[in-house]
Structures are given as C-alpha cells and as structure tokens.
Amino acid sequence: MRFLFNSGRLIWVFQVLSGILLIVFVGLHWFFQHSIAGKGGPAYANVVTYLRRPVFFGLETTFLLVVIIHALLGVRAILLDLGLSIRALRWVNWGLLIVGTAALWYGLRLTLALAHVKG
C-alpha cells in the first residue's frame, strides 16, 4: 500500500486507470452512437434524442470527464519528462487544473444544451 501513497505514483495509477476507462468508454460511445443514436445515420435529431436519456447523458458526460483527466495527466507527464522544477510543476498543476475545469464546464454546457433542444 505504501506504493499508492507516493503522489507521483498515485498520479501514474490515475493515468493508467483513466486509460483503461477510455478504452471502455470509447467502445460504449461507439456502440451506442451507432446502434441507438445512429439509426438512419447519426443525424443531429438522433443525437439530441439520445442525449435526452439520463443514462446516455451520464455516459457521455463521464466519458468527457475521463478524456479530460487522461489528456491533462498526459500533458503533465510529458512536461515532467522535460525536467520541470518543483516550482514550475506547481504552476503547471494549477494551470492544468484551470484548463481542465474550463474544458469540463464548456463540455457540460454544450451537452446540456444539446439535451434540452426543442424538437
């Protein structure tokens, strides 16, 4: 258990877990988009109807969260490989947190807007 309490290792574990979740969510997203929302082609109206279902809305928003986490942890790992100082890493962490929060806010707003389109 001591392995998990080192913050660098814990972040690495989150990166690996988010990668595994990405594989699962990409598969689910692809399956549902092509089997349910994609009947007759993935038309805008079909996607809106699909997103109105709470289960699929939750699936898509969780997928968005996992993509953002995995991407930002990947950027952080690349920057660490470049040899950032501890001080610079703190700034990078805050910057990535702000970027991630903004991306999640925008994605959720867009998904909510699509789910509430009158049709």
pLDDT given for residue 2 in this prediction: 52
Only one residue has tokens 């702000």, namely 98
pLDDT given for residue 115 in this prediction: 86
Check the CA dihedral 25-27-31-34 and report its sign. Answer: positive
pLDDT given for residue 41 in this prediction: 61
CATH number assigned to the domain comprising residue 66: 1.20.1300
Query: Which residue range(s) make up the domain with 98?
Result: 2-115
pLDDT given for residue 64 in this prediction: 96
Q: What residues in the chain have per-residue pLDDT under 70?
A: 1-6, 37-42, 119
Task: Name residues whose C-beta falls within 8 Å of residue 28's C-beta, 6 or more positions apart in sequence.
Answer: 59, 63
Check the CA dihedral 27-28-30-34 and report its sign. Answer: positive
* pTM of the predicted protein model: 0.85
Count the domains in the chain. Answer: 1
